[in-house]
Amino acid sequence: MKPITTPQRLGVLVGFGWVLIGILAAMITSSAFEHRDAVHAIGIDAAPSVVAAHRIKIEVESLDADLVNEMLVTSGRQADGWSADFAKNRIELGRHMLAAARSAFGDDEEASLQSLDDTFGRYLMAAQETIDAHRRGETVEAIATYRTAFQILETEMIPAASKLDEISDADLERAYERQEHHSDSIRTFIGAFGLLLIGVLVAIQGYISARFRRRLSLGILGAIALVVTLMIYTLGAFRANDADLTQLKQSYDTVDRALASLASAYEAKSSQSRALFDRDRAPAARQRFVDFANQVKAVTQDFNRYRAHDEQLRKLAGDEAIAFTLTGESALAFDAFDQALETFVKTDDDEVHAHTEAAFAAVQRVPIVAPILSLLIAISLWLGLRPRLKEYAR
């Protein structure tokens, strides 16, 4: 068996170095695309679906409150106002259902949306029957048809919206945890592989220095410098992506809690009006008010005032109680809470979008930069060994 010649050894070293460089470039490029996919799954797919689910619940409760409030007043400008608000919230509900459908990516989500779509039509029919009976002055019939509408809302629409919320939230949590684990692992692996490549290049430099009695090869030193540059750039980009993804998740969690609180507050508000309209079931409605008011986590001074006004409301009766609920201090406190929370939600929702864009931008150029730097590393390695090969070609 013939011994391996020095040119063959140098060729093997070049080939081995190129293989390592190619593997590193492939790992970095693939991981960059995985980071982008994770941002898309969290910031584009899951987060808007959760927000839409909360908005659906809010609009459903708003529809119920508008319907009951119209029943509490006689015909006229005030009744027309609640009717117009009902029509507006009906359109908003449809818009949020469409938004949820666009971001849905699983059979379970589609099933919940289908259930909402099916029950929404039946709810609107029952609500229209309630309005018609009220306008005819048939109070008993209005209460009976309203109970049908509320049963659809309570037992079908709200559970479907809650299920959609749970599914979307679980998808988001899974995507975030999976990416968090993957990112930590891939950074460690790429860092270790980069050190391995640097170690191989140093070993090649050592072999050349020992075999050819030359101290340094500028090409190999350049290759080492380029590997270090690639590692610093790549790991920095992945860390920036992770940081923005973490901020995205934190902003989303804040929006999620605020919208959940807003949905509970709207249910408490509709229960308050329901207690005045359906007096036979007023105790259940008042208890429902307490239950959902306790679920509001984003408590503000305005909401505390609103809850305090409920104690005052329970001491009133008739038109005085209705006026206090619909246009008095209780209504003003709730509107102030609603506006403050919506402003808070908008600020954090803007943060979600900003961090989503920043997370995309952090890794956007990695699939371009990594192959270019890897090619330059391979060329530098070749240029570093080429003079030694030429010596044997003479």
- C-alpha distances out from residue 249 to 297, 343, 349, 381, Å: 19, 19, 11, 43
| Least confident range of 89-98, 104-113, 223-232 | 104-113
Q: What pLDDT is stored for residue 78 in this prediction?
A: 63
The domain segmentation of the chain, as residue ranges, is: 7-393
Place of tokens 């001491």: 315
Q: What pLDDT is stored for residue 390 in this prediction?
A: 67
Alpha-carbon dihedral sign for residues 177, 180, 186, 192: negative
Q: What pLDDT is stored for residue 238 in this prediction?
A: 93
Q: What pLDDT is stored for residue 79 in this prediction?
A: 66
Work out the mean pLDDT of the chain and round it to a whole number: 85
Say yes or no to pLDDT of 225 above 90. yes
Say yes or no to pLDDT of 20 above 60. yes
Radius of gyration of the chain (CA): 32
Q: What pLDDT is stored for residue 29 in this prediction?
A: 93
Say yes or no to pLDDT of 104 above 80. no
161 near 60, Cβ under 8 Å? yes
Q: What pLDDT is stored for residue 295 in this prediction?
A: 87
Between 380 and 12, the more confident residue is: 380
Q: 166-182: per-residue pLDDT in tens?
A: 887 888 888 888 888 88
189 near 235, Cβ under 8 Å? no
Q: How far apart are CA 355 and CA 228, in angstroms?
A: 28
Say yes or no to pLDDT of 2 above 70. no
Q: Residues of the chain with pLDDT > 70: what percent? A: 92
How much is the average pLDDT of 338-355? 88
Amino acid in position 343: T
SS3 track for 283-308: HHHHHHHHHHHHCCCCCCHHHHHHHH
Q: What pLDDT is stored for residue 214 in this prediction?
A: 60
Q: What pLDDT is stored for residue 367 in this prediction?
A: 94
Name the maximum alpha-carbon separation found in the chain.
Answer: 110
Q: 296-316: per-residue pLDDT in tens?
A: 887 778 888 888 888 888 877
Say yes or no to pLDDT of 155 above 70. yes
Say yes or no to pLDDT of 391 above 70. no
Between 377 and 101, the more confident residue is: 377
Q: Residue 203, Cβ neighbours under 10 Å: how many?
A: 12
Q: 23-64: per-residue pLDDT in tens?
A: 999 999 999 999 998 888 888 877 888 888 888 888 888 888
214 near 208, Cβ under 8 Å? yes
SS3 track for the chain: CCCCCHHHHHHHHHHHHHHHHHHHHHHHHHHHHHHHHHHHHHHHHHHHHHHHHHHHHHHHHHHHHHHHHHHHCCCCHHHHHHHHHHHHHHHHHHHHHHHHHHHCCCHHHHHHHHHHHHHHHHHHHHHHHHHHHHHCCCHHHHHHHHHHHHHHHHHHHHHHHHHHHHHHHHHHHHHHHHHHHHHHHHHHHHHHHHHHHHHHHHHHHHHHHHHHCCCCCHHHHHHHHHHHHHHHHHHHHHHHHHHHHHHHHHHHHHHHHHHHHHHHHHHHHHHHHHHHHCHHHHHHHHHHHHHHHHCCCCCCHHHHHHHHHHHHHCCCCHHHHHHHHHCCHHHHHHHHHHHHHHHHHHHHHHHHHHHHHHHHHHHHCHHHHHHHHHHHHHHHHHHHHHHHHHHHHC
| Least confident range of 4-13, 156-165, 216-225, 256-265 | 4-13
99 near 45, Cβ under 8 Å? no
91 near 55, Cβ under 8 Å? no
Q: What pLDDT is stored for residue 145 in this prediction?
A: 92
Say yes or no to pLDDT of 95 above 60. yes
Give which of 125, 122, 145 is closest to 68, Cα–Cα: 145
Q: What pLDDT is stored for residue 371 in this prediction?
A: 93
Q: What pLDDT is stored for residue 11 in this prediction?
A: 76
Q: What pLDDT is stored for residue 3 in this prediction?
A: 64
61 near 267, Cβ under 8 Å? yes
Q: What pLDDT is stored for residue 330 in this prediction?
A: 82
